[in-house]
Amino acid sequence: MIDQNGITGQVLLEARDLLLVLEKREIFNIAQFTLNAGEVVALVGPNGAGKTSLLLTLALLQHPTGGSIYFNGTCSTRENILELRRRMAVVFQEPLLMDTTVLNNVLIGLRIRGVPAPVARKRAEEWLERLGIAHLKGRSALRLSGGEAQRVNLARAFVLNPHLLFLDEPFSALDYPTRRSLLVEISNILRDTRITTLFVTHDYPEIPFLADTVRVMLAGRIIKSGSVAAVLGEDAAVPRQIPAPWNSASS
């Protein structure tokens, strides 16, 4: 079966025997990790569990010490890594915007891919509009509030029309009202686009808003996996009014 994005089959990303050792320390050792097409997976666990390292490795940004990563059935190699990477997008906790205008930041990934300028600009403006930051397009990206900067960061990722999206605690540095509104907006976007997403978070209340399934990571291993209800419990699996103040301690 081939869908509109050219994605075949059910499994979009599969990692086998994935091992990462940095400075003689084992960061993670995972026999198998899969992401099904259209699925939004929350990856949770304490600090130091290896979540971000796993995300970087699955996003083909960090070379694993061992194991293989298959994207849509194709094993990633030195030769095809750029092509595969260009079908993914990553949103980090920090916005990491370039020292240029908001619009140029959103255009960077499209320019890198050689998308014609008028097409790129139209797509960028559409996403700026959708994320409510169209009025900021001419402003320097280094003069934005935390919430505005993270919206630019999200627009920069969504504009690439990725087959696979990685979100690395994108809301954790934001204040409560900004977090709440962004969470709802991202939830709507993911529901509309059905982009396969791996979502790293510390905050359990975020999970039911975005995720279909949850993987729990501890000391470099996936120790639990299943639906939100199965992992968090029936009660916690229902999206509800986000408690305020909302922080890691409350979760």
Note the residues at the interface with other proteins (CB under 8 A): 56, 59, 61-62, 82, 85-86, 88-90, 92, 94, 96, 98-99, 108-109, 112-113, 140, 143, 156, 160, 166
Alpha carbons 56 and 37: distance in angstroms, whole number: 19
| Residue with smaller CB distance to other proteins, 44 or 157 | 157
**Separation of alpha carbons 107 and 195, rounded Å:** 20
Cβ proximity to other proteins, 61 vs 230, nearer residue: 61
* CB 224 to other proteins: min, Å: 28
Distance CA 221, CA 215 (A): 10
Which phi and psi (to 5°) does residue 119 adopt? Answer: -65, -45
**241 exposure class (CB count in 10 Å sphere: 0-12, 13-18, 19+):** exposed
**Which is closer to other proteins, CB of 92 or CB of 246?**
92
Closer residue to other proteins (CB): 165 or 186 = 165
User: From the CB of 142, what's the least distance to other proteins, in Å?
Assistant: 9
Query: Strands across the sheet with 74-75, in order?
Result: 25-36, 11-22, 66-71, 74-75
Phi-psi region of 96 (alpha: psi -120 to 50; beta: other; left: phi over 0): left
Residue 2 or 82: the one with the smaller Cβ distance to other proteins is 82
Rg (CA), the chain: 18
How, if at all, do strands 40-44 and 196-201 pair? Answer: parallel
Choose between 59 and 69: whose C-beta lies nearer to other proteins. 59
Alpha helices (H) along 47-116? 51-58, 81-85, 102-112
